[in-house]
A = this chain, B = another copy of it.
């Protein structure tokens, strides 16, 4: 069992309730990473629905939480022929996360019409990229849980460019990446806006939605994240994750606040 599987493990405590223990190191200055929390909620959603693979999942973040024990609940809202719609929640001393997801069986072996406008980001080889190593503050401990190599051209915090960051990512111990791990990896890059000169030091996520297209083949993922609209105290961040076969495996969008 790999480190991420262990860290997102849930233990049944009732018909639709589970316990989980968030280990140290999945936090950003003390607050546990949102995508990781979403993956923990997804484990519960998968358990109650009997469908292991999120197709699309949305989480709203209600309060920050630190490492330690949490309660996770999940409830099937509709079980259909191909998909189940599931609600899931994470609670510590107060509600932490509320999620809504549609789950399926994973491997769909689809052979219908396809059309792709775009492709994976151009990146130097992983060894020629910038490895992001954790500190106690920033980069946060969380980046020690994934292996993250950023494109050198947009890896400068506070640099003059557009809000865009790209790079390679994988689970640190070579653990294979399932559909639930994609939820976490879709939130594993530092915010794109940090790589600009925008006077923004903290962008708390209100909502994160991840569409999962397919389970990746073994290896690295290529990720690219951009923000186009910083307006009215909010920004969106759009992400794409591509696997080593050159296929889109997940697409993400989040809405984050831009505190004044």
Contacts and interface: CB of A to CB of B under 8 A. Distances in A.
A63 B83 CA distance: 12
Which of A63, A89, A115, A260 has the most B CB atoms < 10 Å from its CB?
A115
Interface stretch (A40-48, A139-147, A248-256): A248-256
Interface string A88-131: 01000001001111100000101111111110000000000000
A213 interface: yes
Which of A58, A95, A101 has the most B CB atoms < 10 Å from its CB?
A58
A171 to B, nearest CB: 22
A16 interface: no
B100 A60 contact: yes
B260 A112 contact: yes
Interface residues of A, number: 57
Given A98-B77, A102-B206, A229 B255 contact: no
A3 to B, nearest CB: 28
Per assembly, the copies of the chain total 2
A78 B96 CA distance: 9
A255 B55 contact: yes
Contact of A229 (B77, B78, B116, B236): B116
A15 to B, nearest CB: 20
A100 B117 CA distance: 30
Contacts of A99: 100
B229 A102 contact: no
Given A63-B78, A206-B102, A113 B211 contact: no
A24 to B, nearest CB: 26
Contacts of A211: 207, 234, 236, 255
Contacts of A100: 58, 60, 98-100
A200 interface: yes
Contacts of A17: none
22 contacts: A56-B207, A58-B207, A60-B85, A62-B80, A62-B85, A77-B89, A78-B98, A83-B206, A85-B98, A98-B100, A99-B100, A100-B100, A108-B232, A108-B233, A112-B258, A113-B260, A115-B198, A115-B230, A207-B211, A213-B232, A213-B234, A214-B232
